[in-house]
């Protein structure tokens, strides 16, 4: 049966997709966005849209029987996880053998679940990872445009020094400074003025109520409140939720035809539909967009796709670790779920590390300092197609995570030795000190200049574009969403000027 047609279709509603939708909408181009997750705007029976980290329910996770929190244990006890009903929840953990990947599901993608850290990479490193992109333009125009669109703000330094909720960050800062290391404030899309009022007891708590990874009920400028709200405001953009794109094919006249599965939040399939588009933008994230094109190539639907499709995937060097603090270095029972400080050792010639000082928002004194270290890991994975499950499988071996551990260990051994502290061995489900079997920062798969041209146009096809984290070659040196946003701003400006006239 002939389906619908829309001049432009965007798959996904994360950072790249949201930027693209706003700019297409402003240009007057009718655009449909297809999102497999839900729109998160309706409170549950507890009056809240999202559950917190300490009391997760079915809203927490994407079709799981038990929650899968990153800190698997505390004193080896599985305290954080709960049995839940499978449901179209907000956080997914996708498992591929030795690597699992956390991603957001819903209108706003990763912006719903992430830590809101809005960090611009060091310019010298950006020039190294994406040498063909004009860094003057990125740093002069597109990074500032992205930060304006995202609503990035900075913590008030005076308040930071006196508040309770960043005591944990001040303790880690002291330990880093004792080792001669530099720290830096991390800009955020969480409203720091709202956080100040949370601590003052003036408004409902979110960052200060253990709301992180399963969504924030207040304070966070997730994409549904920034770019996507603006996109809908143009009157030219529609979002269809619980619509998962399964297949992309092309008609002889060049029109793309999508096969889309519509479900209810319990996972029952309501309809399988077709939607045709002249211009098709992939914004389903590194895993989602790469899978769609790997599947299209391997099933012969888009046979001209190149061998670069599915290559160049990385973890952004993610590795997590905890340190045990002395009794006199209490971190406090109140920890903001949104980090505000990082240890910046990215200029180290041998072991560059940018370590965000992460919370353990357990609501009790933990005597622990937690870190998400971003390291420079040169290892890359790639995707193959598994016909039996009709899915793309990430090929990544545990040994490929070792460079991340080596770099983090070098830095934190130094911090431990100066401060007389040790690692925590009870946090990751067994006795390991370093957790590198998951990433929050999947990047690559459809790398700029390889699977696409220098503006995200997919090689081998016209009017087919990639807009998301799959463009970035496996590493950004910092948390990635500002770079994804800025690159999408740059690419859509060019595509609008040259292709959609």
> Which residues have a catalytic role annotated?
356, 441
User: Per rule CB under 6 A, is residue 103 in the interface with ligand FDA?
Assistant: yes
Determine if 359 is a binding residue for ligand FDA (CB under 6 A). Answer: no
Q: Which stretch binds ligand FDA (CB under 6 A): 108-116, 193-201, 405-413, 447-455?
A: 108-116
14 touching ligand FDA, by CB under 6 A: yes
Pairing of strands 368-375, 464-466: unpaired
The reply to whether 283 sits near ligand FDA by the rule CB under 6 A is yes
Of the residues 36, 207, 319, 405, which one makes contact with ligand FDA according to CB under 6 A: 36
- Residue 286: CB minimum distance to ligand FDA, A: 6
Q: For residue 408, which of 451, 383, 377 has the smallest C-alpha distance?
A: 377
| Cβ-based nearer residue to ligand FDA, 100 or 410 | 100
Among 21, 34, 84, 176, binds ligand FDA (CB under 6 A): 34
Decide if residue 381 touches ligand FDA (CB under 6 A): no
Phi, psi of 405 (to 5 degrees): -65, -45
CA torsion angle 222 152 342 372 (round to 10): 20
Residues 47-86 binding ligand FDA (CB under 6 A) are none
The Cα-based distances of 258 to 29, 241, 250 in angstroms read 19, 15, 9
Q: By CB under 6 A, tell whether 245 contacts ligand FDA.
A: yes
Part of the chain binding ligand FDA (CB under 6 A), chosen from 101-109, 203-211, 373-381, 405-413:
101-109
CA distance 486 to 362: 34
Q: Does 125 bind ligand FDA (CB under 6 A)?
A: no
Closest residue by Cα to residue 179 from 345, 327, 389, 41: 345
Q: Residue from 150, 284, 357, 486 that binds ligand FDA (CB under 6 A)?
A: 284
**Close Cβ partners of 29 (under 8 Å, ≥ 6 residues apart):** 7, 8, 236, 279, 500
Residue 20: φ, ψ to 5°: -60, -40
* Residue written as token pair 């989602």: 288
CB of 196 to ligand FDA, least distance (A): 19
What is the spatial distance between Cα 396 and Cα 313, in angstroms, rounded to a whole number?
A: 9
In the complex with ligand FDA, which residue's Cβ is closer, 109 or 473?
109
Task: Choose between 119 and 163: whose C-beta lies nearer to ligand FDA.
Answer: 119
Using the rule CB under 6 A, is 248 a contact of ligand FDA? Answer: no
| Distance, C-alpha 50 to centroid of its chain | 18
Between CA 335 and CA 296 the distance in angstroms is 45
Please tell me whether residue 244 binds ligand FDA under the rule CB under 6 A.
yes
Whether the CB-CB separation of 190 and 338 falls below 8 Å is answered with yes
CB 355 within 8 A of CB 321: no
From the CA atom positions of the chain, what is the Rg in Å?
A: 22
Check binding of 438 to ligand FDA (CB under 6 A): no
- Which of 6, 20, 67, 114 is the binder for ligand FDA (CB under 6 A)? 114
Site track for ligand FDA across 188-227, x = CB under 6 A: -------------------------x--------------
Taking alpha carbons only, the member of 95, 135, 184, 87 closest to residue 490 is: 135
Among positions 464-493, residues that touch ligand FDA (CB under 6 A) are 468-469, 479-481, 484
Q: How far is the CB of 424 from ligand FDA (least distance, A)?
A: 20
Binding residues for ligand FDA, rule: CB under 6 A, are: 11-17, 34-37, 102-106, 109-110, 113-117, 213, 244-245, 283-286, 288, 292, 440-441, 468-469, 479-481, 484
């Amino acid at each position: 049966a002939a389906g619908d047609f829309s001049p432009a279709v965007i798959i996904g509603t994360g950072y790249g997709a949201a930027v693209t939708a706003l700019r297409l909408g402003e240009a007057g181009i009718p655009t449909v966005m297809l999102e497999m997750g839900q729109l998160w705007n309706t409170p549950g029976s507890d009056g809240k849209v999202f559950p917190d980290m300490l009391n997760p329910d079915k809203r927490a996770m994407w079709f799981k029987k038990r929650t899968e929190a990153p800190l698997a244990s505390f004193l080896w006890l599985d305290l954080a996880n709960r049995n839940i009903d499978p449901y179209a929840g907000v956080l997914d953990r996708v498992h591929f053998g030795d690597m699992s990947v956390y991603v957001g599901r819903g209108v706003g993608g990763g912006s719903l679940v992430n830590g809101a850290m809005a960090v611009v990479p060091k310019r010298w490193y950006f020039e190294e990872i994406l040498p063909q992109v004009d860094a003057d333009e990125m740093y002069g125009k597109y990074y500032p445009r992205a930060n304006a669109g995202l609503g990035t703000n900075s913590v008030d330094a005076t308040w930071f020094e006196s508040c309770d909720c960043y005591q944990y960050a001040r303790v880690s800062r002291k330990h880093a400074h004792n080792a001669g290391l530099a720290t830096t404030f991390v800009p955020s899309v969480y409203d720091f003025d709202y956080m100040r009022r949370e601590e003052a007891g003036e408004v409902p708590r979110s960052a200060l109520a253990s709301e992180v990874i399963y969504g924030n009920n207040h304070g966070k400028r997730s994409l549904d409140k920034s770019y996507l709200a603006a996109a809908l405001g143009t009157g030219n953009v529609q979002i269809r939720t619980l619509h998962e794109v399964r297949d992309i094919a092309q008609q002889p006249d060049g029109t793309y035809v999508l096969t889309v599965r519509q479900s209810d939040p319990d996972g029952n399939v309501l309809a399988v539909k077709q939607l045709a588009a002249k211009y098709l933008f992939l914004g389903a994230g590194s895993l989602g967009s790469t899978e769609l094109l790997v599947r299209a190539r391997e099933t012969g639907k888009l046979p001209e796709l190149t061998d670069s499709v599915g290559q160049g995937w990385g973890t952004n060097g993610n590795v997590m670790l905890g340190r045990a603090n002395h009794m006199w270095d209490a971190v406090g029972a109140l920890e903001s779920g949104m980090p505000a400080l990082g240890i910046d050792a990215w200029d180290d010639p041998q072991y560059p590390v940018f370590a965000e000082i992460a919370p353990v928002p357990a609501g009790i004194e933990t005597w622990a300092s937690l870190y998400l270290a971003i390291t420079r890991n040169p290892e890359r994975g790639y995707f193959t197609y598994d016909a039996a499950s009709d899915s793309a499988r990430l090929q990544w071996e545990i040994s490929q995570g070792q460079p991340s551990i080596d770099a983090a260990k070098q830095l934190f051994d130094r911090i431990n030795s100066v401060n007389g502290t040790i690692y925590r061995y009870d946090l990751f489900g067994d006795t390991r000190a370093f957790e590198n079997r998951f990433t929050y920062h999947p990047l690559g798969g459809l790398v700029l200049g390889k699977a696409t041209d220098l503006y995200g146009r997919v090689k081998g096809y016209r009017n087919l574009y990639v807009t998301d984290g799959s463009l970035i070659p496996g590493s950004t040196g910092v948390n990635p969403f500002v770079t994804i946003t800025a690159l999408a701003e740059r690419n859509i400006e060019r595509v609008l000027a040259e292709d959609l006239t």
